[in-house]
Amino acid sequence: MGWILALIALISDLHSNLEALDAVLRDVEAQKPDTIVCLGDIVGYGASPRDVILRTREVCQVVLQGNHDAALLDDRDAAGFNERALRAIEWTRAALDAEREENWPLWDWLGGLVPSMDATPDAGAETVHLVHASPRHPLAEYLMPNFGPENERVAGSFAAARHRLTYYGHTHHPGWFAEGDAFRRAVDNDASLKIEPGRRYMINVGSVGQPRDGDPRSSYALFDGETVRWRRVAYDHQAAGRRILEAGLPASLAERLLVGR
Ligand code: ZN
């Protein structure tokens, strides 16, 4: 403490929503972070997989694989997906036609991602654990916002966390678990959390492409080594929804963007 550490921007759950990603990246750029991290679920649900993959690959220094990215590559990872999620994966496979040579680098890149990683933002900075879903099952375990501290998944995840601070996504609910406490929601733009020395946390950065906490604005987080700050960014969700309908994807995937559910 006492000196300025590197600033990290953490985005997650983009879900092929280019309108949301572009708006978030404009806000991220204005914060001038040293590093941009993506916690996975680049594809699934939305209508712009190709452009979202290209943008993510271009701007993020660290990218994890999410369960939708994994399901695109291997049907076994789609076990448990509901009907509309499955339809979106099928649609995405067709859109990223693997028969076409121009798409091969995208498939190679997605196939090389992993769902868990340690990251040290700067020399001398504290190493943090980055996962898509949870420290114990990094690809697909849900740490839901209604879970209390005694919940087996929460306790098991704290036990499996490799470092004091874990960053995750997957539920699309921004907020945090401090060890021993229930989940606290990060409500509204610029909600913040001051990290207490010696305490363990699991911090959810929220979702860029499909928020589910009732606020349709995109969510992402900034971390300067001492404080986590969540940003909420409005974007043209009407346009994103229109393109989902034009693509022939389930209408409910467009409708949920309007209400953030
Ligand atoms: Zn997701």
Å from CA of 12 to ligand 1 middle: 8
Q: How confident is the model at residue 1 (pLDDT cuts 50, 70, 90)?
A: very low
The pair of structure tokens assigned to 92 is 């995405």
Q: Is residue 72 part of a domain?
A: yes
Q: Is residue 99 part of a domain?
A: yes
Q: Is residue 3 part of a domain?
A: no
The pair of structure tokens assigned to 193 is 């959390």
Is pLDDT at 182 greater than 60 in this prediction?
yes
Å from CA of 88 to ligand 1 middle: 12
Q: Is residue 134 part of a domain?
A: yes
So what's the pLDDT on residue 124?
75
pLDDT digits (tens, 9 = 90+) for 197-233: 999 999 999 999 999 999 999 999 999 999 999 999 9
> The domain containing residue 92 runs over which residues?
8-259
Q: How confident is the model at residue 70 (pLDDT cuts 50, 70, 90)?
A: very high
Kindly report which listed range (30-39, 46-55, 83-92, 120-129) carries the lowest average pLDDT score.
120-129
pLDDT digits (tens, 9 = 90+) for 80-132: 999 999 999 999 999 999 999 999 999 999 999 999 999 987 777 889 999 99
Å from CA of 44 to ligand 1 middle: 8
Q: How confident is the model at residue 4 (pLDDT cuts 50, 70, 90)?
A: low
d(CA 261, CA 256): 5
Task: Give the bridge partners for 1, in sequence order.
Answer: none
Å from CA of 70 to ligand 1 middle: 11
CA–CA distance from 131 to each of 15, 27, 92, 241, 252 (Å)? 17, 23, 23, 28, 28
Cβ atoms of 209 and 172 within 8 Å: the answer is: no
Is pLDDT at 2 greater than 50 in this prediction?
no
d(CA 115, CA 39): 8
Å from CA of 53 to ligand 1 middle: 15
Half-sphere exposure of 82 (CA within 13 A, CB side): 5
Å from CA of 132 to ligand 1 middle: 9
Å from CA of 124 to ligand 1 middle: 32
Overall domain count for the chain: 1
pLDDT digits (tens, 9 = 90+) for 150-180: 999 999 999 999 999 999 999 999 999 999 9
d(CA 42, CA 49): 8
Phi, psi angle pair for 233, to nearest 5°: -125, 120
Q: Is residue 186 part of a domain?
A: yes
d(CA 227, CA 37): 17
Å from CA of 13 to ligand 1 middle: 4
Radius of gyration of the chain (CA): 17
Å from CA of 123 to ligand 1 middle: 31
Cβ atoms of 159 and 195 within 8 Å: the answer is: no
Q: Is residue 138 part of a domain?
A: yes
Is pLDDT at 73 greater than 90 in this prediction?
yes
Half-sphere exposure of 183 (CA within 13 A, CB side): 22
Count of other CB atoms within 10 angstroms of residue 69: 27
CATH code for position 109: 3.60.21.10
Q: Is residue 2 part of a domain?
A: no
Residue the block writes with tokens 């978030």 = 24
Task: Give the bridge partners for 230, in sequence order.
Answer: 221
75 secondary structure, DSSP code:
G
So what's the pLDDT on residue 5?
67
Å from CA of 171 to ligand 1 middle: 6
121 secondary structure, DSSP code:
-
Percent of the chain with pLDDT over 90: 95
Candidates 21, 10, 16; CA nearest to 236 is 21
Å from CA of 22 to ligand 1 middle: 18
Å from CA of 64 to ligand 1 middle: 12
Å from CA of 198 to ligand 1 middle: 30
Q: pTM of the entire structure?
A: 0.96
Surrounding ion ligand 1 within 5 Å at CB are 13, 41
Q: Is residue 25 part of a domain?
A: yes
Å from CA of 15 to ligand 1 middle: 7
CA 245 to chain centre: 23
Helical H segments across the chain, by residue range: 18-31, 49-59, 67-73, 83-95, 104-111, 152-160, 237-246, 251-259
The pair of structure tokens assigned to 248 is 């022939």
pLDDT, averaged across the chain: 95
SS3 78: helix
